[in-house]
Structure 1
């Protein structure tokens, strides 16, 4: 047998690892491609990271080398499959803080399983059926060829991989100077550097963040945050104190998206009750969800604190030891009684701890309700809202009551329990199931609000109702676009669909109409403070009735206003009027920097727990 054949057979495990793992990572990259980035651009950082692993494995003898590569193959494939499943729902890449919160998935098994695709597990095909035979052959027949050249070859391969990787990292750091340290856009990093480099960077930054917590606070940074907060406050001239002394009933509705408002299917209104109450309220039609990995918990975190979600993982877990100046505490200082209502497990999303931190007097969780009707994840919205009415009646006025619904939770697979709402040709589809679920929730909310009205409660109460996050993930987006007769699949059109309803109902309907102000969940708390004449402090959002700007910032660094949408995932600006790409100019570049500053301020407040060190 000639030397070339000997070389090939002795290093068959190495060659297969390089080819197969590189192929897997590139195919995985295709899942993240949007058309703005070329698939082949991933090849250089991918082959670089693969060669670094290979070079390290070559230091060992044949048996140890093949086992090491086999383990790396399993780990890499596991990351790929986990990332794909996570990306389908969250449109983000999994990270260490998310994994640390992973036990929460135990309560939403149906949601996770519905995101899985049998094709995902093809990434493990080689591990199960090919690699074991290759490794067995190499260990049995392989020999330690060319021992004299082993070290130079290994060092050359390692240098090759490191240089190529450094070039990729350096190029990205020049293009987006703060991206690698802040990790504010994990999808973009993965698209540019590959899955291996991303997860290594994630591990490094997660460890570094924990070390950074030990560093003393920076007075300069705190002064900078205080200056921003001062400049960000509105004059509060409109509706200042108009709800002072009234009750606040705030309702966070699971997966309520704005596109269902006013829409019909098969000749029937999808949300007739919410449509009716929107006409009796101030309705914000450009209100966006701003959640990240924390999902529903992020929404309630923002509306009660006006701080951004954690850059990775859930703030409810990562910062449960922090001090907050939350809405319930603010109301309590004004003599209000406060309570949170959510008929799910009390420790889910760490609510039993965080609600105390926020200043809620009482948390009515799963144990406070009779489980007499279960739909999906837990108690039906009908039973939850009916039982909550009784609990509200017992609250001492004035009060702040915060309610979270549950039945319309993804994956909307309890169609037989939602009633007989006929969605026509959409029957049996994902979108059709969602419309049935949200129609059911609309019925229950209608009865709840009508009951409050009949009891006379609304004469002395402000009701704030909003959706927490999206209902239709992008991989099911074609059904939604077809339903809405939208032909273009542009990023701008998709982003415009990421609105959730916000309605504010005033006593005697003294204020009502359609409000076109651009806002998001960060802006609820400052708006409430102005209406109820509460101290407005330590908030990064804006008062929606007195906005000094109408920019909505998302956790990944994207932002939107009435003129432009910036997609950080592609580093592209779009005109909101034409939907076409717009060139970056000095103003837009400054806007992008301001967005990153604000996200950085929120991260600093949370990571260093400096809330009490900010201005009172």
Structure 2
């Protein structure tokens, strides 16, 4: 016992470091595993192994330097966990290196960040405040010979490294390509812990940077080109060329989710204007957003290019120098004028650069509008849409205009002083603020669409309206479930709520009606391409008016075909009709591999700028 006590006192700093960091990793693990204690057991080994690596390195230092080393590493890990917690709170994803690049694009969105922060996150720093007061003088050995330190380093470091290698190898065997593509970051953090996740993130970031400058094999190029050619729209006749010569007006609505469409609260319709236009349009009720961490910019990217967004970071930044076969470029070849309009900063999400890359003739950003009314982040939707209408009136026809709204941006609380929409019991909550915010945006869209109608523009235009991404983060799901009277409240329920509305309005209200095809933002460009008789080469999506394929693939590796839903974060399959979990079959496993392959192909196309090569091939 005396010997054990002596060893413990000699390594007091090591023990304190291990226990504190271990507790923090488990605490964060519990957060992302939604209080699943059983699932947390799988994290014990990887968490301990990753900490032992730092413990081993610490043994290389003498006592005083070692104590400082552990203290600094503890602060760094605590800060990383804090950042992960805030990021996860809204995005339901893990923070990564490319997100830092996104930060350059996003600028200081202070209100959004502040609303995500919880005082409980400061608990990760309690030990940081206490540790300096611990009497490390109790440590008996003031100095240890380098040989002994080296032996201690080798033993502890190898145990940690060996443990990590085992857990990483095991996960790689279960989920091939997961650790190289990082398409399911939450699952990696669930299974390997936060430290290992960030280590893999750093490794993969530099690996991707290296791959970008490494020549792709001819076989890989051929396989991708063959796939793209097989995905090309063939023989579609329904509505082909229906929009030829007509204006195209696309409106991407900030945070417009499908659950508000057709719904009421306290006897008031939430979106009365969109409900009215739904009856006059082709409406798709199984349309999903497919964005990643690029959020709004990812929705713009997919709609304009029919390629998946970046696995990490924003495509608008990472691929703004690529050759793209975009919708604006295709319409310009048909003598259309292509304009983009958004009432916020031109540099936000790198739009000033990306819009040029995609071939827009003019980008009307913040400097192009009179900032006469601001709500939240910037120009109000009322002013933006009124000024945009005046711009469209003066634009030479035929034109393609892409409008992105702003007011209904998270955290939605800026709208409170505008209008008196009664949200009843949800007053003062994020959910209630969202209902007010989207009701306001609906009013402005209604006025805009009515103006187009009165001006006769709708008689010579196809108008597409859709939501860009989710509004309600998962940590606010309670009020949403209550509002919808949801009886089943599991991960499948949540996944099916991640739909956004898609309206496509034709002149004279032709082709109206509800369509149940499963699709997503990837599919809008191919659909428009058929309507305007444009080339459909090198697209990842499908024409949702013609295709019999029922399928949506999400950036994290999840997918649905309308019958089953595979949820990559938990690696589970669900039967949609019954709502029950089902076992993986050979057929489902093949579908999962196909989804992963498509994501990988899209990444390779973008990372190696393959469209430039394919376009130049004879």
1:66 and 2:74 matched:
no
Structure 1 pair 353/505, CA: closer, same or farther in 2 (3 Å)? same
Superposition pairs of residues 541-580 of structure 1, within 5 angstroms: 541-580=541-580
- 2:178 corresponds in structure 1 to 179
Q: Using the TM superposition, give the Cα deviation of residue 27 of structure 1 relative to its aligned residue in structure 2, in angstroms.
A: 0.7
- 1:385 corresponds in structure 2 to 385
Structure 1 pair 139/345, CA: closer, same or farther in 2 (3 Å)? farther
CA distance in 2, matches of 1:381, 1:205: 40
Question: 1:542–1:548: 8 Å Cα contact kept in structure 2?
Answer: no
1:237 and 2:219 matched:
no
- 1:89 corresponds in structure 2 to 90
Superposition pairs of residues 505-584 of structure 1, within 5 angstroms: 505-584=505-584
Q: Using the TM superposition, give the Cα deviation of residue 141 of structure 1 relative to its aligned residue in structure 2, in angstroms.
A: 6.7
CA distance in 1, matches of 2:79, 2:227: 43
1:256 and 2:256 matched:
yes
1:606 and 2:606 matched:
yes
Superposition pairs of residues 61-140 of structure 1, within 5 angstroms: 61-127=62-128, 129-134=129-134, 137-138=136-137
Q: Using the TM superposition, give the Cα deviation of residue 613 of structure 1 relative to its aligned residue in structure 2, in angstroms.
A: 1.8
Structure 1 pair 140/39, CA: closer, same or farther in 2 (3 Å)? closer
Structure 1 pair 139/227, CA: closer, same or farther in 2 (3 Å)? farther
CA distance in 1, matches of 2:218, 2:277: 47
1:359 and 2:353 matched:
no
- 2:149 corresponds in structure 1 to 150
Q: Using the TM superposition, give the Cα deviation of residue 389 of structure 1 relative to its aligned residue in structure 2, in angstroms.
A: 0.6
1:55 and 2:48 matched:
no
Following superposition, which runs of at least 4 residues in structure 1 exceed 6 angstroms of deviation?
Answer: none
- 1:206 corresponds in structure 2 to 205
- 1:162 corresponds in structure 2 to 161
User: Taking structure 2 as the reference length, what is the TM-score of the superposition?
Assistant: 0.97
- 1:493 corresponds in structure 2 to 493
User: Taking structure 1 as the reference length, what is the TM-score of the superposition?
Assistant: 0.97
Greater Cα offset, 294-303 or 37-46: 37-46
CA distance in 2, matches of 1:110, 1:310: 26
CA distance in 2, matches of 1:247, 1:169: 53
- 1:452 corresponds in structure 2 to 452
The number of aligned residues is 614
CA distance in 1, matches of 2:105, 2:163: 39
Q: Using the TM superposition, give the Cα deviation of residue 145 of structure 1 relative to its aligned residue in structure 2, in angstroms.
A: 5.0
Question: 1:273–1:446: 8 Å Cα contact kept in structure 2?
Answer: yes
Q: Using the TM superposition, give the Cα deviation of residue 99 of structure 1 relative to its aligned residue in structure 2, in angstroms.
A: 1.3
Q: Using the TM superposition, give the Cα deviation of residue 349 of structure 1 relative to its aligned residue in structure 2, in angstroms.
A: 0.6
Question: 1:62–1:139: 8 Å Cα contact kept in structure 2?
Answer: no
Question: 2:11–2:139: 8 Å Cα contact kept in structure 1?
Answer: no
Q: Please give the secondary structure, in 2, of the residue aligned with 1:121.
A: helix
Q: Using the TM superposition, give the Cα deviation of residue 103 of structure 1 relative to its aligned residue in structure 2, in angstroms.
A: 2.9
Q: Please give the secondary structure, in 2, of the residue aligned with 1:517.
A: coil
Structure 1 pair 232/78, CA: closer, same or farther in 2 (3 Å)? same
Q: Deviations over 1:100-133 (max 9, x none)?
A: 2223443311011100000011101111x21222
Q: Using the TM superposition, give the Cα deviation of residue 303 of structure 1 relative to its aligned residue in structure 2, in angstroms.
A: 0.3
Q: Deviations over 1:50-88 (max 9, x none)?
A: 011101110111121111111111111111111111111
- 1:193 corresponds in structure 2 to 192
CA distance in 2, matches of 1:11, 1:153: 11
Structure 1 pair 416/147, CA: closer, same or farther in 2 (3 Å)? closer
Structure 1 pair 37/566, CA: closer, same or farther in 2 (3 Å)? farther
Question: 1:283–1:503: 8 Å Cα contact kept in structure 2?
Answer: yes
For structure 2, the residue ranges without an aligned partner over 5 or more in a row are none
1:502 and 2:502 matched:
yes
Superposition pairs of residues 257-272 of structure 1, within 5 angstroms: 257-272=257-272
